[in-house]
Amino acid sequence: MNEWNRLSAAEAARRIARRELTAEALMRSCLEHIAAREPAVLAFAHLDPDAALAQARALDAGPLRGLLHGLPLGVKDIFDTADQPTAYGSPIYAGHRPAADAAPVALARAAGAVIAGKTVTTEFANMTAGATRNPLNPAHSPGGSSSGSAAAVADFMLPLALGTQTAGSIIRPAACCGVVGFKPSFGRVPRAGVKPNAESMDVVGGFGRTVEDAALLAAVLLDDRRVLDEAPPDTLRLGLVQGPDWAQAEHDVRTCWDQAVGALAPKLARCEDAPLPADFADVAAVQAALQAHETARSLAHEYRVHAQRLSPALRALLEAGAAIDARQVELHRARAERWRRETEALFERYDVLLAPSAVDEAPEGLPFTGDPIFCRPWSLLGLPCVHLPFARAASGLPVGLQLVGRQGEDHRVLAAARRAMDWLA
């Protein structure tokens, strides 16, 4: 049996472009692996093999459509899809059929992607876990909220998958599953047709098994060839940001940090602790408060009409968010804007920042998807982030760190990530 499903997205795309591999053969290989592994991983909210193969055959019959031509793509189940149900991780919307694709799905289709299926999300991309298990150890969480997307890519079911992040929903599951997660700069990817959570922080991004794979998807989502064409730098000016909540990092993350700094420092033009704003200790609390407030407004209909069909945890979050008054929200937003300006100044001295991705390896048990505290600052500030999967905890589960870039310089942070992964190998 072939194992085309194990090809990287970039290599599969090259072979398809040379007509050495068909989209149908690649999709069949992925579907065979899904059939074998899905009962253990539970990555999919919806899967229609016949429809996926029909898409692939149609692509094989025509000219090359774009960068993603023939590549199977998983779509987190908070993205509307015209040909597949979209339930947003909630029984309220079971069987819901949107009339149109979300903008990122439409962009991916236009670039030749095969929409393979809808991947499991937590409830409305919040905290209540879905069914997905970590493919590396099914007793552990895959992270959230982009649970199924990260798990499907990690388990070689699909080469690429879409995700979203409001706090840590791309970077944390990438860390839990040991894949590359890319969160673009805020506002770079259209969100029409994506179920809103917190309007000032929601970002569409995705997962691949290599940085090159993530860049391939990013080039389509951002409409920016620079993320593929930017040459990896020969050296970097690296700012180290353990952050105000570093005390929460567990032993394996601390070991990973020391390993990375030890390997990277000799290659760098600059490697030092980056100074943070004096009151940055409050950043996670401010992000969490603003997210709760905005989510309460985004899910106002669901709370008003279907409150008893929401999980207790989500109801509590919405009630807490609704209780934050307008004056407090203004104060939080003013602090966030000041932090953005002060953090922007760091990139005069550093090309990228190195920061932790998660407090530990994937949590044991499925109900808790992990603490996003190390991702909250960068989500609040809207900065592009790339998770680097290069290390293992004592348990054998993956751990890693993230690179954080300057707002709008997504191409540079992805290029830096490619070089960093070479140095960390």
By annotation, the residues acting in catalysis are 76, 145, 169
Backbone Cα Rg of the chain: 20
Cα gap 14→29, rounded to integer Å: 17
Q: What are phi and psi for residue 277, nearest 5 degrees?
A: -55, 150
CB 179 within 8 A of CB 213: no
Q: Which residues contact 175 (CB under 8 A, 6 or more apart)?
A: 143, 181, 357, 358, 362, 387, 389, 398, 399, 400
Q: Which of 150, 121, 152 is nearest to 40 (CA)?
A: 152
Query: How far from 122 is each of 14, 146, 152, 288, 311, CA to CA, in Å?
Result: 34, 7, 15, 17, 11
Q: Give the strand pairing for 352-356 and 237-240.
A: parallel
CB 220 within 8 A of CB 108: yes
Q: Which of 266, 261, 267, 224 is nearest to 414 (CA)?
A: 224
